[in-house]
Amino acid sequence: MKRFDAHFHIIDYDYEIQENNGYWPPQYDIEEYRSATSDLEIAGGAIVSGSFQGFDQDYLIDALEHLGPRFVGVTQLPMSTTDEEIIRLNEQGVRALRFNVKRGGSESLENLEYFAQRVYDLVGWHSELYIDSQQLPDISPVIHRLPAISIDHLGLSEEVLPHLLDAVDHGVRVKATGFSRVDLDVAQAMRQIYEVNPDALMFGTDLPSTRAPRPFSVEDVHLIEDTFYAQACGKIFWENAHEWYRIGR
C-alpha cells in the first residue's frame, strides 16, 4: 500500500539551525530519510519545519527540490511576511503554515486567526498546530471560524480528547504521528477520530522523532493496520493527506 508521510523533518546543518530549550537536533538529511523509509512505500509527504529551524526557508526549498513534486512543505513564518514572499513559497511547493505552540520558534498563537485566514485567502494554505489539546478549549472559537486547520500528534493528551473530537467535528484534521509522545490510548483515539470524520486522520512517520521517548517504528504502521479495515487504511495512509495537501495543485 502506498503511503503519504504527512509529517517528517529534514535537518541539514548546511543551513541555519538554532537551539531550542537547550536542545540541538541531529543531522537528518534526505538520504537518511529515504533509507529509513525504504520499506514503507512512501510516495509523497510533507516536510515540516521544526522549532529549531525558526523562519529559515532555504533548507526547506532545497529539500523540496530534491524530493520532487509529490512532496510539499509546512513552514513557519513571521506575520510580517509579505504577500509576495508567501506566493513565492507557494510556487516552490509550500502548502501550509505551522504554529509550534508546544516548542516555540513560530509566530505567536495570538495571531493565529488573522495569519491563518490570510494565508488561506492568499494561496489556499491550511495551518498546522503543534499544541496540547488541553489548550484547545481556549482557542476553540477561533478554530471553528477558520477554514482549514490540522493538529499534530493526535493532540497529545487523553484528558481533553472530547475537545479534540469537537474540533474534528468542525472540520479539523489530525495527524496520526508521534505515538510515543502522546498520553492516550492511540488505537482508541484514532478510532474515535475516524468515527467523527473519516477524512480527518493522516499518517506520518515523525522522523527523525526529535525529542520523542522512542523513535518511529514500523510497529506504528502495524498499529494502524491492526486498528482499521483496508478501506480506512487507504484513507489514513494516502487519500486524506494527498487531498489535504493539494498535491499537484
Q: For residue 121, which amino acid is it?
A: D
Q: How far apart are CA 183 and CA 185, in angstroms?
A: 7
pLDDT at 108: 64
pLDDT tens, residue by residue, 217-236:
999 999 999 999 999 999 99
Single pTM value for the model: 0.94
pLDDT at 124: 97
Phi–psi pair at 131, nearest 5 degrees: -150, 145
pLDDT at 45: 98
Phi–psi pair at 99, nearest 5 degrees: -115, 110
Q: In this prediction, what percent of the chain has a pLDDT beyond 70?
A: 96
pLDDT at 132: 72
Q: Is 28 helix (H, G, I), strand (E, B) or coil?
A: strand
pLDDT at 159: 79
pLDDT at 102: 52
pLDDT at 63: 97
Residue 36 has a CB neighbour count (10 Å cut-off) of 18
Residues of the chain with pLDDT under 70: 101-108, 249
pLDDT at 168: 96
